[in-house]
Amino acid sequence: MVITGDNHLNYYSQKFGSKLAERRSQIGRAWRETIDYAIDKKADIYLNVGDLFDQISPRNPPRARVIEAFADLKEANVKSFVIAGTHESPATMIEGASPHSLLQEANLARVFEDTRSFGQEILKVGDTSVSIAGISTDRRLHLNMDPLENITIPAGADFNIALLHYSIEKIAPPYWEEAMIRMNSLERNKQIDLFAMGHIHQHMTKKLGNSLIVYTGATEHFNFGEAKNETGFYYVIIEDKKIKEVNYIKTKSQPMTQLKIHTSTLSVENPTKTISDALVKASDPTGLLQLVLEGEIRFDNYLKIDFPHIFDDGKKRNFYYEYLDNIKPIAEGIEYKPSKGLQPRNELISIANQAIEKADADNKKFWKRALELAISYYDQYGEV
């Protein structure tokens, strides 16, 4: 079986401007590698563990490419199963169904749309019965809520798989504040042999008793914090009702680099040259580069840095380029206080919380719901 997720087709960011279409094409090419690999290896099963799309209402071109790809899988006798992730699962009835519903209607994949209870399909592959149970992400869950609380995942086959798109405690980064699966919920569902997971963009595997947790990671990089992550998917072989092989297959992602330069390394006479030399070495005309300048420097030396030149040079040498000036200039009698800048999302939350606090008991729930919808809309359409 091929297991993939966090592909984020129809990815959107205002930063790319006229290059957005080309960036989307690269993201689509990386995902298509999962399809071609499944067909080439004559896989029996193809699993997508959520965030196939980056938006709940993607444009028609990526929808068409997805339908074509799943039609290719069906023609190659590869059985496909899909769940919706955080970017494509509807939070309200107004948003309708996930974009995967077309795959279900066209009989190209089994889509587990429900966010509250698992769907299940048991199929026979050779002499082995395989149970595939899936549940889509419930975006209405809040911090400290466990999506698997009091839930028993259906099983009953020789080999049992669960598809989920959530973080898991002790695996997710400690600063993540969201609904999270508790370890004891997984341990309670020890009938599951393989937990196929999406949501965390870094691939990993972890044994839990006799079960295996597999986070597929992403097939592309989507922010500079992920620049050092590998991109790819998993190819898993089951033999004699047990996992025989777990292979991580890398995808050809667009080069992404985060270049950090500390002020202690800059030339006092010509700091611009130090930065430019490092920039030239790190640049790639097909890649994405983020330059981060950090540390303290005397104010008069700070003024020697030719920022327009650094910006123009980086932009010329890379497919996409940005720089962050986190330098703290030091001058006698002048105190520099770095600002966090505009934070519209935090301002939105702050204003809404003030309204909630002032509202009477009957109206509090409406303000809370308004906040949820506003944040959902901002996270989907706001600037990345």
Per domain, the residue ranges of the chain are 2-250, 256-330, 344-381
For the stretch 81-120, pLDDT in tens is 999 999 998 876 566 678 888 898 999 999 999 999 999 9
Distance CA 84, CA 62 (A): 16
Q: Judging by DSSP bridges, how do beta strands 128-134 and 119-125 pair with one another?
A: antiparallel
CB 2 within 8 A of CB 43: yes
Over residues 148-158, the mean pLDDT reads 96
* Length in residues, the chain: 384
Give me the pLDDT at residue 383, please: 47
Tokens representing 18 are 């006229």
Say if residue 150's pLDDT is above 50.
yes
For the stretch 238-290, pLDDT in tens is 999 999 999 999 999 999 999 999 999 999 999 999 999 999 999 999 999 99
Give me the pLDDT at residue 157, please: 97
Q: Helix (H) and strand (E) counts for the chain?
A: 9, 17
344 — pLDDT class (breaks 50, 70, 90): confident
Give pTM, 2 decimals: 0.83
Least confident of 11-15, 170-174, 263-267: 170-174
Give me the pLDDT at residue 175, please: 78
Encoded amino acid at 379, one letter: D
Give me the pLDDT at residue 55, please: 87
Say if residue 163's pLDDT is above 90.
yes
CB 319 within 8 A of CB 285: yes
Give me the pLDDT at residue 93, please: 59
Q: Which CATH architecture has domain 2-250?
A: 4-Layer Sandwich (3.60)
Comparison of pLDDT for 377 and 206, the residue scoring more:
206
For the stretch 29-83, pLDDT in tens is 999 999 999 999 999 999 999 999 998 888 888 899 999 999 999 999 999 999 9
Give me the pLDDT at residue 74, please: 97
Say if residue 334's pLDDT is above 70.
no
